[in-house]
Amino acid sequence: MFSFTGIEPIPAEAIEASSLQNAMLFEIAMARAESELRSSGDAASWEECLNVASSRQRRHFDARIPEKLEQSDISVADHAARNLVAMLDSIRTQQPSAYLEHAPLIPGLGWVASGNGDFALGTTLIEVKHTGRNFGASDFRQILMYWLLQYARAVENNGQVWSDVLLLNPRRNAALLVNYDHLLRSASASSNRVELVELLRSAVGQDFDRR
């Protein structure tokens, strides 16, 4: 685990001052950061960010959608967005020739629907977690499933496979870079990629979501 220079964690009292659910608050931050990255610094308005975040959060039954943002909400969301943009900019300077992909496709398989990750840079998947804790087992299970689904598709079409995953937490200024082969060996009694994919196929079915 490491941190980035020049980035300040978000104070807990600032987050507590917001009346929004944390999931909504940081979804707004993600929308703001994404718009800034896509437009080279010209971020969308906060109203537009709220609309994007609300659309995403409505998928969750317990989401509370606000009608407007208070200054305390904007302050935290802006801090988180600026932290994320700074983290990604720092990473991109280390791989200047690599393209930063937004919402990389996670293929579906059987009853597991296709979806999207947060970002990818070359062969590195980047997942963002705005939590108040260290990265944990649930995070590793998620990124392992993402890799297995992508690898299963790559076997069929000779596509690219992620070699590493970078977990970012703009809220705490924390990051963790993990090699997927190391993660597979740590999480499974078998390090054989094909064997692991066949286990996944047997669990969820054989057919891909052809998205």
Give the pLDDT confidence score for residue 93 in this predicted structure.
95
Average pLDDT over residues 34-53: 91
Share of residues in the chain with pLDDT > 70 (%): 90
Confidence of residue 198 (pLDDT cuts 50, 70, 90): confident
pLDDT reported for residue 5: 96
**pTM, rounded to two decimals:** 0.89
The DSSP call for residue 86 is: H
Residue 51: φ, ψ to 5°? -65, -45
Question: Where along the chain do its domains lie?
Answer: 12-94, 100-209
Q: Which of 45, 133, 119, 116 is nearest to 88 (CA)?
A: 119
Instruction: Give the CA dihedral 199, 202, 203, 208, nearest 10 degrees.
Output: 100
Is the model more confident about 60 or about 165?
A: 165
> H-type helices in 44-98, by residue range?
46-57, 71-94
CA distance 150 to 124: 12
Query: What does the pLDDT read at residue 26?
Result: 98
Please, which pLDDT band fits residue 109 given cuts at 50, 70 and 90?
Answer: confident
Strand positions, DSSP E, the chain:
100-102, 105-106, 108-109, 115-116, 119-121, 124-128, 164-169, 174-179, 208-209
Stretch (H or E) spanning 11: none
Total count of residues recorded for the chain: 211
Q: For 171-199, what is the mean pLDDT? A: 80
Average pLDDT, the chain: 90
pLDDT value of position 188:
65
CB 197 within 8 A of CB 151: yes
Cα angle at 152 between 148 and 153, to 5 degrees?
120
For the stretch 62-102, pLDDT in tens is 889 999 999 999 999 999 999 999 999 999 999 999 999 99
Average of per-residue pLDDT across 30-50 = 92
User: Nearest 5°: phi and psi at 129?
Assistant: -130, 110
Mean pLDDT of all residues in 176-198:
77
Pairing of strands 164-169, 124-128: parallel
pLDDT tens by residue, 130-163: 999 999 999 998 998 898 889 888 877 878 899 9
